[in-house]
Amino acid sequence: MKQRQVEVLAPAGSFESMKAAIAAGADAVYIGGSQFGARAYADNLDEDHMLEAINYAHLHGASLYMTVNTLVKEKELDSLFDYLNPYYMAGLDAVIVQDMGVFTYIREHFPDLDIHASTQMTITGAEGASLLKKMGASRVVTARELSLEEIARIHREVGVEIESFVHGALCYCYSGQCLLSSLIGGRSGNRGRCAQPCRLPYDVRKDGHSCQPRDERYVMSLKDLCVLDILPDILEAGVYSLKIEGRMKSPRYTAGVVSIYRKYVDRYLKSGRKGYHVDPRDKKILLDLFDRGGFTDGYYVQHNGRDMAALKEKPAFRQGNQELFEYLDAAYVNAELKEPVTGSLVVEEGKPVSLVLSCIDPDGENVTVQTEGTVVMTAQNQPMTEDKLRKQIQKTGNTPFQFTDLTISTVGNVFLPVQALNELRRTSLEKLERELLGKYRRESGKRETDDRSEKKTPKEMELHVLLDTPDGFDTVLELESVRELQLEADGFEPDQWSAYAFSCHEAGKRCVLALPVIFRTEAIRFFEKNWQYLTEARFDGLLVRSMEEIVYVKKKGFSIPLFGDHNLYVFNQTAKKTYDQMGLTRQTLPLELNSQELEQLGCRGMELVAYGYLPVMTSAQCIQKTTDRCTHRPGLLRMRDRTGKDLTVKNRCTFCYNTIYNPSPLSLLGQEHLIHRLAPDAIRLQFTWETKEQIRQIVQAYSAVFLEGKTGQIPFTDITRGHFKRGVE
């Protein structure tokens, strides 16, 4: 299909929404099938309807992308071929992917299918984008939190197609980094089942006291994104595809939003920045379609801010703009798109009737088909008139075509049964449709599969400790059972890194620096400033949490082992092998698989988180700034939910993001028989704000139970098993 200057990309949670989006001017539509999609509760399409949708989009000059953007468990991966192959053969334009195992699988089995790296991959910089492009991604969907400057850098340095969100709901958390819905309710956002706990009220407390007005408790509910005012800036930063959010919304909403963005994209393309202006009435239309408390232009021009949060509850009832709704229904939702066709009918006595049809395809090429039908008979009474012939041939009914011109030539006293004319018309239109769609068809994908299982020799299990701050460092150093200390980069002063690593080595322990969860401009500045400290510290490895960090470290020419953390998700063996090939020498098991699924995955060569307050959100927003002001000092707040549970919030000012933690710490004491059967290389204890004595007791308990076969107990009773027993759907 011909490359466009800009793509208006519409959401579709149903077949009806897909049709409405294309009628309203969408260049492309993204939609979910019956499996592997991040909107499990949308009206996703079964195979027949998906195939019909692919054909519909192509006949009307649009592209169709399918969401395959969930994390896929080991036992599910084998079903991916049979699921995707019919769509691949029908000409599916691209798949949107989060799981690196799925990414590699599709690259191998469906080599001609474009892969779009989902926003769930949390791509925040040129480093991650370049890695994905090298691996075969044709497009990167950026994290919603990126600034115009950061997007422009990706465009400038990588040259990959960029897709960015321009309208609709904003997640509070970096997409792909949220476990809140999963851990508190069992509904995983990584599996398409987010329960949207960020839209609920929270009482923010500091030192036991509430620190926000009673009517501003929706601190994590962000306003919807609308970028009409800065659309030229976004396009000039290098964004190619303008993505509208809303697969859970109605066809009417989809059509309305698409029609507005189509209008302003065309205005910019025609008149440039000088001729670009936004009519306030159009923004009012968008608010009439959905209003959570006003719009925000998001993160493109600001890192975060109180004005981006709705703060108040969304009104339960709003008077609808009935006139607008009726217009959208008539113009787009109920519209039947027809492609213009010209025809030439030749009816000559004694010869087969002939119909030639022509149509201009989306690439501007003329497609012509010719069909012959029944031999024309001699009229016994009155010859068939041109008007009657025209009337029958032009009845295109529910086909995607409509005649704009039909020439008719008759020779002799002609007669044809109406049934014969109907059959000629039907056969000709079907032939034209096949010809138009033929250019999209592919041969079957490659079914051959490799053995994904890995046979690794069991190792004696080690005990590792991750420390958020230096408070417990000396305590852990004294505990002989700990083989490795992992230090958060923003919690330990860079000019002391060498001293900490030296102390670990003196105590016979390895020392690893844990890099930030989000690696953006702030992180690059930090490591550029402190690079000498890092190279001189003699760390035994780096715990990496993003693809940006993998590339950044290698580009710097720094040869050091890289270990992947649990948020570089390894749900299947193919994902594990993919990260191995990226250069990770050890990986961390994901937090959302249960023990049975971990066993199917295989845990040898991996690290298992067995204790700690688990991070459930990483956000560019700052609760401290929203409820008070930015202090530029790390600190802790508590957010009390409706059940009375307190989620602790830490503002990580060095890298300018918030980490929100689960109310209860994970403890896998009591599960040692299962963990020994899984045989990970190491178990990890993560410490955040525990006291020195609590740290000592917890390490000693795990050491006794897991390394010595004795009994042990931690100093907490309010604990969680996380997903170790229950997993996620």
pLDDT of residue 214: 87
From its phi and psi, is residue 471 left (phi > 0), alpha (psi between -120 and 50) or beta? alpha
Task: Output the pLDDT for position 447.
Answer: 86
In the prediction, which pLDDT does 185 show? 84
Average pLDDT, integer, range 512-531: 98
pLDDT exceeds 90 at position 450: no
Query: What does the pLDDT look like over 580-593, one tens digit per residue?
Result: 999 999 999 999 99
Q: Is 312 helix (H, G, I), strand (E, B) or coil?
A: coil
Helices of type H across 210-279: 231-236, 251-271
Percent of the chain whose pLDDT exceeds 90: 89
- Two structure tokens written together for 608: 């298992």
Total number of residues shown for the chain: 729
| DSSP states of 475-530 | HHHT-TTEEEEEEETTTS-GGGHHHHHHHHHHTT-EEEEEPPSS-SHHHHHHHHHT
Structure tokens at 144: 């919603």
One-letter amino acid for residue 604 of the chain? R
pLDDT score for 313? 87
Supply the pLDDT for residue 687. Answer: 98
State how far the Cα of 216 lies from the Cα of 203, in Å rounded to an integer: 9
Using pLDDT thresholds of 50, 70 and 90, give the confidence band for residue 671.
very high
Which tokens belong to 514? 């844990």
Q: How many CB atoms lie within 10 A of CB 413?
A: 15
Residue 451 reports pLDDT greater than 80:
no
190 has a pLDDT exceeding 80: yes
Least confident span in 452-466, 545-559, 676-690: 452-466
**pLDDT band, residue 507 (cuts 50/70/90):** very high
pLDDT of 40: 63
pLDDT digit string (tens) for 269-300? 999 999 999 999 999 999 999 998 899 999 99
Q: How far is the C-alpha of 264 from the C-alpha of 524, rounded, in Å? A: 35
Contact indicator for 612, 690 with CB cutoff of 8 Å: no
pLDDT digits (tens, 9 = 90+) for 195-221: 999 999 999 998 888 888 888 999 999
- Higher-confidence residue of 193 and 499: namely 499
Which pLDDT does position 209 carry in this prediction? 87
Write down the pLDDT at residue 39.
66
Q: What number is the average pLDDT over the span 438-453? A: 83
Per-chain mean pLDDT for the chain: 95
585-641 per-position pLDDT tens digit: 999 999 999 999 999 999 999 999 999 999 999 999 999 999 999 988 999 999 999
**Which residues, 6 or more positions from 601, have their beta carbon under 8 angstroms from its beta carbon?**
73, 74, 570, 571, 572, 573, 576, 589, 593
| Of 87-101, 120-134, 302-316, 500-514, minimum mean pLDDT range | 302-316
- CA dist 220 to 163, 178, 248, Å? 25, 13, 20
Give the least confident one: 44-48, 295-299, 487-491.
Answer: 44-48
- The span from the CA of 365 to the CA of 496, in Å, is 67
Pick from 593, 585, 535: which is nearest to 564 by CA?
Answer: 585
Across 139-270, the runs of DSSP E, i.e. the strands, are 139-141, 161-168, 203-206, 209-210, 218-222, 224-226, 241-244
pTM: 0.95
